[in-house]
Structure 1
Amino acid sequence: MNMHSLRPVAFDHPDAVQLNDEVQLEYAERYGDDGDATWLDPGMFVPPHGLYLLAYDGRGRPVASGGWRPQDANDEAYSDGDAELKRMFVIREARGHGLARRILAALEEDARAAGRTRMVLETGTKQPEAINLYASSGYAPCAKFGLYRFDELSRCYAKPLNPAAAAARPEPTAVTA
């Protein structure tokens, strides 16, 4: 019996802002900095060209978040057709209930329906739970991209959203730790 509901919201919705503030504090705690400095505009997550989801518990409290935004080839090493996963987060007391996996699956399905061909994400070595989630969900290390592509703690992963398109595309360059 799953008492958590997933709802699409605007990235600047008060509940989304609250969870984003919490994830930034966790990043700061884990990495000893000010959190993720990646610039995000609420317009990047507007359906059908992006999506931001929140999970709410049975009492209506926001407990988890995640979104995808479109990316195409640019000077930060993205590829045409990419959907970038952003702000995947589950508050401490709601962890261990499969919320991140549910959000991830919903975001992948939405990005696939929007015509995106690959889901990509950047995480860090101080987030082993995230790395385990992505590896167990079919993500493989890929060439680094984004704001933190030159950071030694950064790890980038990708997963084809359309197996037929993946077969036609050359394999991305693997990155060694």
Structure 2
Amino acid sequence: MKNKRSIIGILLLFIIVLGIYLAYITSTQSEQLKNIYIKSLVEIIEYKSGTQKSFQYIAIDFDTLKGLNEVEKAEVNEYFELKYNVQVIDASYKDLLEKGIEHRNKELSGLVIYVEKIENHIFSYNVHVAKEYASLGANGIVIKFHYKNGEWIIWKVKANWIS
């Protein structure tokens, strides 16, 4: 009877420790994923473009930021508002047209950026991000991240497509 209680106690302790560990791992991964998205979106904003000109807003399609909860998406929003000192809108190009914020065949007064795809490998991520310019075209890049010294760093950036 005493052995049975000891085994149950050890089993409960193991389950509690495992739960705490899994919660820690999940929160850490989510924070790292948020940072990967932020670095990727900054990269597409600043990638070989005329985005050095002033823009009135940044539209980010937050639905494309897979794996982030609403609080983390709000943190991404706040990061870009502070970094670029403009309003950040949760919208795709199509949403902007439907809301009448932008009009087809005109130059955008803001930037529209989104994540096309994210590929998770053991010690690397490939993030496909894009930026739209309305009638002026669009471009997409692939950003390769490697895990080094406890953080995800940009290893390589290459053009994926231009239209």
> TM-score if structure 2 supplies the norm length?
0.28
Give the strand-richer structure, 1 or 2.
2
Point out the structure with max Rg over C-alpha.
2
Q: Which has the higher helix share?
A: 2
Structure 1 length-normalised TM: 0.27
